[in-house]
Amino acid sequence: MPHEFNAGRRDKFPKAKYAVTNWSDYNEALRRRGDVTIWLEDGAAGKWFAPKRKGRGGQPKYSDFAIETCLTLGLIFHQPLRQTQGFVRSLLGLMGVELPVPDFSTLSRRAIGLSVVDDRPQSSGPITLIVDSTGLKIHRGSGWQETKHGTGKTRKSWRKLHIGYDPNSGEIVASLLTTDHVGDETALPELIAVIENPVA
C-alpha cells in the first residue's frame, strides 16, 4: 500500500525492452545455467587418503585434500555438511570413482584445524598494481520506514574503499577505507606502504 500510494512521486525509469530473435540459442543458454561440470584431476584418487602416521593415536583416514575438496563444494553450493556428504557421494558415483566420502561429523571436526595451502606461484619481483575505488553507502534506515512514518530524509553518508589488485596473481594485495572526498592518488601512498613486495 505505501508503495502504491507514493508511486506518483517516485522517479520513473523507462523499462528496458529486449527483442529476442534467436529463441533456440536463448533457450539453450538458459538450459546451460543448470549444467554442473566438475573435473577431478588424475592424481586426486591418490591424494584422497591420509598417509600412515608413525606416532601413537588414531590414524586419520582422509587427507586434508579430501576434506578441503568436500568443504569447498559445500561452500560453493551453500549446503550444510550432511547435504555436502550426499552431494560429493553422488558426484563420485556419477564419475564412476570408487572413493569413500567423509561423513558430516568428520568434516566438521577436521574443518577446525584445516590448513589450506596456496600452491599458486608467488611473484618475488616487483608487482604490477592496479588501484580502483568503490563507494559504500552507510545505511541508517530503509526508504520504506521514511515513507511509512513520515520522517525526513536523512543525509546520505558515504565511504570509499580503495583496492589494490595484482593482475598476475589475481589477489587483492592492499585495501584502505577512507571518507568519500579522498581520491585514489591520495590513498596510493598508504596502499603501497602495506605491500611487502616492491611495486613496479
**Are 114 and 68 in contact, with CB atoms under 8 Å apart?**
yes
The verdict on 50 and 103 lying in the same domain is yes
Model pLDDT, residue 151: 62
pLDDT in tens, 149-166: 666 565 667 889 999 988
Stretch 70-99: mean pLDDT, rounded? 91
Q: Is residue 2 over pLDDT 60?
A: no
Pairwise pLDDT comparison (125 vs 83), residue with the higher score: 83
Distances (CA, A) of 119 to 95, 122, 129, 169: 26, 9, 21, 11
Residue 182: per-residue pLDDT = 86
Burial letters 95-119, b for 16+ CB under 10 A, else e: eeeebebbebebbeebeeeeeeeee
Residue 104 reports pLDDT greater than 90: yes
Mean pLDDT of the chain: 81
Measured CA to CA in angstroms, residue 7 lies from 11, 121, 132, 148, 166 at distances of: 8, 55, 37, 13, 46
Q: Do 51 and 93 share a domain, yes or no?
A: yes
For residue 20 the three cell numbers come to 529476442
pLDDT at 16 over 90: no
Least confident of 7-11, 27-31, 97-101, 112-116: 7-11
Instruction: Decide which of 112, 145, 170 is a domain's last residue.
Output: 112
Q: 48, 65 in Cβ contact below 8 A?
A: yes
The answer to whether position 24 is within a domain reads no
* In-domain check, residue 16: no
Domain that holds residue 168: 130-193
Asked if residue 88 and residue 58 are part of one domain, the reply reads: yes
- Whether 35 is in a domain gets the answer no
pLDDT digits (tens, 9 = 90+) for 27-68: 888 888 777 777 778 788 888 998 887 878 778 899 989 999
Residue percentage of the chain with pLDDT more than 90: 21
Q: Are 84 and 71 in contact (CB under 8 A)?
A: yes
Contact status, residue 83 vs residue 70, Cβ threshold 8 Å: no
